[in-house]
């Protein structure tokens, strides 16, 4: 009797294993628990990664070509004055409860996002719409907002002023949510069982702070092209533990292996073959507080910029194959002008000349200055490298200081130090985001306190003009002012994504907005 | 005795209030708030967020609202995790911390006391030196070293146990070992010292003279008196295991409240910080009370008035 039972059990186990082996399950590490899966509330990369698999946007960024393509929208047109944008939606997209996704969903979701009670975090990207700012800050009403569903599959946006890249904005923020779930379940509408999706995957299981499971959505309009059956997302914070799981075969992909282990990984016969660096849409830079002496003198800023050997930084400190940066906007983002000779390259002779012209020949009389960064081993290593460069080339002493991230942000807001370390990742696929949010004199987050009316004018032009060639001219002008003439910052390198991937995973390595991988294009070989 | 216990319970209330006020003030004194993120949010958006979570109320009102909710066991929403209230988080995540904590605690006591007894009984022999060396190693290595080391040995090389996470009894082994290691050491040393002291007492010599076996002498006469210093260590050990769990849960990716506590401070998730601090404080207070009661039970000379 016992023997029969054991045979049956063994048989069941094999059966389960074989069924399991037929399913394509990707095991991914999210790192942390996603704070939310509501597109209106999400602004961190973990939440956006999951949202990107289960919800569709009006438009999308094609990472292979860098173009904006339609997702929910088939096509769109702009009125001659640039104020009315009309989007024509696909008619074959449905929610997982069977109901079609319509223009009314778009109107409802955008007005919900602008409702001040929702306290939506990406809402500022919608302020270009007529009446949106007033509604969002509590002085207007929903009826006056320029978003209207003209019919089931046509939605019209009326803007406050012409915005040439509105379709690029829409990739990030126009992501409709299912009204019936939100109204029925309130804050808990994103829990499994309550949530209704429309993307290539849907949320099947979510054990908070432990794991979540995405399964292929059979109702997705292009379900036949999706190969993966399941994506199992762990939430392991500790990078070294995640690496141990990857090596033990419990994870299929590992993003950002711990820096301390990179040397070992690169010399390991197995791991070195599975390691890959790919570009990301972001730039790491040192900003100057242009109001604080001695950095109120552009010659001093240029001297400091010309003294940094970026290639050596990448080769010896970063070791991730990053691309050195001379301009601010990253490659892959419309507006990138980095290969055109703009910017201040490494040139120790010129650096010394700039400093001498500024009145500090060979660093004599140069005051002690401070470079600040937020606490992290990596930032410390980069800061120490820069400190050495400045000492060696310019003969000046730079002190280093670091603060915990949130404290650091507050310091930057209130009184930025002379030199500060920062990074910028593209919020949506257009370089306007980089320039406006960081160096426009009217933006509060312009910690560098950079004020140049010509630069502001270029930024305004970039917002309004639609013609791509004309825009590139303005991008060139803006970057030349920012990185070369005025040198308000030292761009250091463009971020890369370092990943370990098992050989049986078929995937792409395109740079995407917010590093959201397109799992719908991935596949798994049997292993 | 009962009036003592009731008095101690009542004293807990002012202590909790003091802990809550200090935590609240410290929390709001640290620069940065829950909404200063990777990318600075525009001030209008922050205003909407602060309104939603009542962070624009005056501080005294926020404190009273929180404490009023706390007394009715309504701990508020999590500011970072938009779908969950603090009650949800606690309800879902206290089991792993409680299980890991209790297993580690009792394991530390058991192994520690046994090691201590063996060392004491074989004092100044190789066995004694061996046990004490192990104890010293346990107390000197921080758990951020012990944890990954155990993972490397047992999970990656021997492949006997899973690397991390939670769910099966196998998942408990490495984190429990990591968490209990420093306390095994402490219990061992204290037990050894206490037993050695008691072994020289008159009544032990009398028991031996009466013909009682060594084993029975130790168990019936020596151990009970030697336990008093051990119980003294148990109080801080419990506190240490609670705080140690924060690191261990992070290393082993265990979905408990320790791991959550650390991230909540980084995120400035005020309701979570307040609630967890108060709960941990309460646990430690209760544990200390239990220790005091145990003293009275074990040593009849100790009486409270």
User: Cβ atoms within 10 A of the Cβ of A440, count?
Assistant: 20
Q: What is the pLDDT of residue B287?
A: 87
Residue A275 predicted with pLDDT over 90: yes
CA B245 to chain centre: 7
HSE-up (13 A, CA, CB side) for residue B192: 22
Residues of A in contact with B32 (CB under 8 A): 404-407, 409-410
Q: What is the mean pLDDT of residues B239-243?
A: 83
Confidence class for position B87, pLDDT limits 50, 70, 90? very high
pLDDT of residue A344: 95
Model confidence at B100: pLDDT above 90: yes
Which residue of chain B comes nearest to A35, CA vs CA?
Answer: B81
Q: How far is CA A476 from CA A299, A302, A339, A459, in A?
A: 21, 19, 11, 11
pLDDT for residue A1: 75
- What pLDDT does B215 receive? 82
| pLDDT for A16 beyond 80 | no
State the pLDDT at residue B121.
84
**What pLDDT is attached to residue B228?**
80
Interface test with B, best of A238, A412, A448 (most B CBs within 10 A): A238
Per-residue model confidence as pLDDT tens digits over A448-499: 999 999 999 999 999 999 888 999 999 999 999 999 999 999 999 999 999 9
Given B43, B80, B163, which is nearest A244 (Cβ)?
B163
Answer whether residue B156 shows pLDDT above 80.
yes
pLDDT digits (tens, 9 = 90+) for A108-135: 999 999 999 999 999 999 999 999 999 9
- Whether residue B83 and residue A191 make contact (CB cut-off 8 A), yes or no, is yes
Q: Between B224 and B254, whose confidence is greater?
A: B254
pLDDT of residue A105: 96
pLDDT at residue B38, as a whole number: 59
CB contact under 8 A, A44 and B268: no
Q: What is the pLDDT of residue A466?
A: 86
Distance (Å) of CA A165 to CA A113, A457, B39: 20, 17, 21
User: pLDDT (tens digit, 9 = 90+) per residue, A350-405?
Assistant: 999 999 999 999 989 999 999 999 998 889 999 999 999 999 999 999 999 999 98
Report CB contact under 8 Å: B255, A208: yes
In the predicted structure, residue A52 carries a pLDDT above the cut 90: yes
Given pLDDT bands bounded at 50, 70 and 90, which one contains residue A333?
very high
Task: Give the model's pLDDT for residue A459.
Answer: 95
Measured between alpha carbons, how far is residue A191 from residues A111, A181, B259 in Å?
22, 10, 22
Chain centre distance of CA B287? 10
Q: What are B54-66's pLDDT values in tens digits?
A: 999 999 999 999 9
pLDDT over 70 (residue A9): no
CB-CB neighbors (< 8 A) of A209 in chain B: 89, 92-93, 255, 259-260
pLDDT averaged over chain A? 93
Say yes or no to pLDDT of B81 above 80.
yes
Please compute the mean of the pLDDT values over residues A22-38 and round it to a whole number: 93
Q: How confident is the model at residue A21 (pLDDT cuts 50, 70, 90)?
A: low
Is the pLDDT at A15 greater than 70, yes or no? Answer: no
Best of B26, B45, B79, B255 to disrupt the A interface (most A CBs within 10 Å) is: B45
Question: Cβ–Cβ of B164/A241 closer than 8 Å?
Answer: yes
Q: What is the mean pLDDT of residues A20-28?
A: 83
What was the pLDDT predicted at B37? 66
pLDDT at A72 over 60: yes
pLDDT confidence of residue B305? 64
**Neighboring chain A residues of B268 at a CB cutoff of 8 Å:** 406
Rounded to whole angstroms, the Cα distance separating A142 from A144 reads 5
Cα nearest neighbour of A125 on chain B: B42
Q: What is the mean predicted confidence (pLDDT) over A82-96?
A: 95
Separation between Cα atoms, residue A289 and residue A450, nearest integer Å: 8
pLDDT digit string, tens, across residues B244-302? 888 899 999 999 988 888 888 888 999 999 999 998 898 888 888 888 888 888 777 77
- Cβ-defined contact of B36 to A406 (cutoff 8 Å): yes
Give B-chain residues touching A236 at CB under 8 angstroms: 164-165, 253
Closest CA–CA distance from residue A238 to any residue of chain B (Å): 6
Nearest C-alpha of chain A: how many angstroms from B251? Answer: 6
Q: Is residue A394 within 8 Å of residue A355, measured between CB atoms?
A: yes
Across the range A414-422, mean pLDDT stands at 94
Core vs surface per residue A232-261: b (16+ CB within 10 A) or e: bbbbbbbbbbbbbbbbeebbbbbbebbbee
Q: Do residues B27 and B268 make contact, with C-beta atoms less than 8 angstroms apart?
A: yes
Domains of chain B: 2-71 (no CATH), 91-298 (1.10.3720.10)
Give B-chain residues touching A234 at CB under 8 angstroms: 165, 253
Please say whether the beta carbons of A431 and A473 come within 8 A: no
CB contact under 8 A, B163 and A245: yes
Tens digits of per-residue pLDDT, B4-51? 889 888 999 999 999 999 999 999 998 888 887 656 788 888 899 999
Per-residue model confidence as pLDDT tens digits over A201-219: 999 999 998 999 999 999 9
pLDDT score at A183: 96
State the nearest Cα–Cα gap between B215 and chain A, in angstroms: 43
Q: How far is B276 from chain A (nearest CA, A)?
A: 16
Average pLDDT over residues A243-257: 94
Question: Rounded to an integer, what distance in angstroms lies between the CA atom of residue B134 and that of residue A354?
Answer: 62
**Best to test chain B binding among A209, A261, A426 (most B CBs inside 10 Å):** A209
Q: Please give the distance of CA A286 from its chain centroid, rounded to a whole number.
A: 19
């Amino acid at each position: 009797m016992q023997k029969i039972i054991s045979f049956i059990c063994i048989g069941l186990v094999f059966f389960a294993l074989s069924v399991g082996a037929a399913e394509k399950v990707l095991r991914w590490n999210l790192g942390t628990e996603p704070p939310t899966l509501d597109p209106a509330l999400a602004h961190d990369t973990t939440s956006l990664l999951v949202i990107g698999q289960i919800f569709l946007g009006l438009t999308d960024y094609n990472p292979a070509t860098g173009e904006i393509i339609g997702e929910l929208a088939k096509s769109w047109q702009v009125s001659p004055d640039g104020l009315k944008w009309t989007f024509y939606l696909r008619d074959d997209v449905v929610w997982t409860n069977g109901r079609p996704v319509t223009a009314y969903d778009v109107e409802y979701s955008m007005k919900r996002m602008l409702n001040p009670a929702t306290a939506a975090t990406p809402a500022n990207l919608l302020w270009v719409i007529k009446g949106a700012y007033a509604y969002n800050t509590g002085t207007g009403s929903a009826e006056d907002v320029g978003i209207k569903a003209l019919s089931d599959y046509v939605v019209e946006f009326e803007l406050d002023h012409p915005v040439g890249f509105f379709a690029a904005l829409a990739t990030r923020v126009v992501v409709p949510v299912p009204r019936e779930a939100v109204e029925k379940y309130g804050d808990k509408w994103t829990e499994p069982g309550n949530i209704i999706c429309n993307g290539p995957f849907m949320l099947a299981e979510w054990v908070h702070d432990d794991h979540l499971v995405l399964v292929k959505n059979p109702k997705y309009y292009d379900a036949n092209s999706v190969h993966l059956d399941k994506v199992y997302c762990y939430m392991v914070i500790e990078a070294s533990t995640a690496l141990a799981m990857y090596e033990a075969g419990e994870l299929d992909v590992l993003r950002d292996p711990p820096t301390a282990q990179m040397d070992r990984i690169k010399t390991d016969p197995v791991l070195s073959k599975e390691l890959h660096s790919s570009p990301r849409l972001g730039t790491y830079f040192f900003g100057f507080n242009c109001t604080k002496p001695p950095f109120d003198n552009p010659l001093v800023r240029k001297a400091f910029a010309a003294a940094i050997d970026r290639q050596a930084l990448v080769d010896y400190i970063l070791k991730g194959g990053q691309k050195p940066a001379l301009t601010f906007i990253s490659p892959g983002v419309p507006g990138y002008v980095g290969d055109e000779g703009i910017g201040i390259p490494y040139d120790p002779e010129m650096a010394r000349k700039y400093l001498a012209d500024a009145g500090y020949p060979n660093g004599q009389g140069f005051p002690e200055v401070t470079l600040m960064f937020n606490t992290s081993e990596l930032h410390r290593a980069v800061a120490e490298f820069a400190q050495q460069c400045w000492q060696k080339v310019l003969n000046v002493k730079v002190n280093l200081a670091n603060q915990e991230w949130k404290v650091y942000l507050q310091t930057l807001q209130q009184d930025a130090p002379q030199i500060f370390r920062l990074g910028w990742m593209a919020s949506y696929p257009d370089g306007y985001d980089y320039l406006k949010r960081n160096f426009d004199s009217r933006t509060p987050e312009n910690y560098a306190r950079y004020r140049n009316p010509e630069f502001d004018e270029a930024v305004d032009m970039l917002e309004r003009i639609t013609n791509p060639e004309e825009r590139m001219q303005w991008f060139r002008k803006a970057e030349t002012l920012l990185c070369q003439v005025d040198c308000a910052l030292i761009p250091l390198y463009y971020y890369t994504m370092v990943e370990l991937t098992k050989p049986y995973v078929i995937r792409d390595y395109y740079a995407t907005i917010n590093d959201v991988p397109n799992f719908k294009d991935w596949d798994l070989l049997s292993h | 005795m009962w009036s003592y216990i009731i008095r101690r319970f009542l004293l807990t209330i002012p202590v909790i209030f003091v802990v809550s006020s200090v935590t609240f003030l410290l929390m709001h004194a640290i620069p940065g708030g829950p909404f200063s993120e990777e990318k600075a949010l525009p001030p209008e958006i922050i205003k909407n967020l602060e309104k939603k979570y009542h962070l624009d109320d005056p501080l005294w009102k926020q404190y009273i609202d929180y404490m009023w909710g706390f007394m009715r066991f309504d701990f508020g929403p999590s500011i970072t995790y938009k779908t969950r209230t603090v009650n949800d988080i606690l309800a879902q995540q206290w089991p792993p911390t409680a299980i890991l904590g209790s297993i580690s605690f009792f394991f530390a006591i058991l192994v520690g006391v046994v090691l201590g007894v063996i060392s004491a009984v074989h004092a100044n022999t190789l066995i004694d030196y061996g046990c004490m060396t192990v104890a010293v190693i346990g107390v000197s290595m921080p758990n951020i070293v012990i944890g990954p080391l155990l993972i490397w040995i047992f999970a990656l090389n021997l492949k006997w146990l899973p690397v991390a996470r939670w769910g099966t009894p196998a998942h408990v082994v490495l984190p429990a070992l990591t968490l209990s290691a420093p306390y095994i050491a402490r219990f061992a040393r204290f037990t050894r010292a206490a037993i050695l002291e008691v072994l020289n007492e008159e009544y032990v010599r009398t028991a031996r003279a009466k013909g009682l076996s060594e084993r029975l002498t130790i168990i019936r006469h020596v151990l009970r008196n030697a336990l008093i210093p051990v119980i003294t260590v148990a109080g801080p050990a419990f506190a240490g295991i609670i705080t140690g769990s924060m690191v261990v849960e992070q290393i082993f990716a265990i979905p408990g409240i320790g791991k959550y506590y650390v991230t909540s401070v980084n995120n400035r998730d005020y309701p979570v910080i307040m609630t967890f601090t108060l709960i941990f404080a309460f646990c430690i207070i209760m544990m200390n009370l239990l220790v005091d009661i145990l003293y009275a039970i074990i040593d009849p000379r100790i009486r409270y008035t």
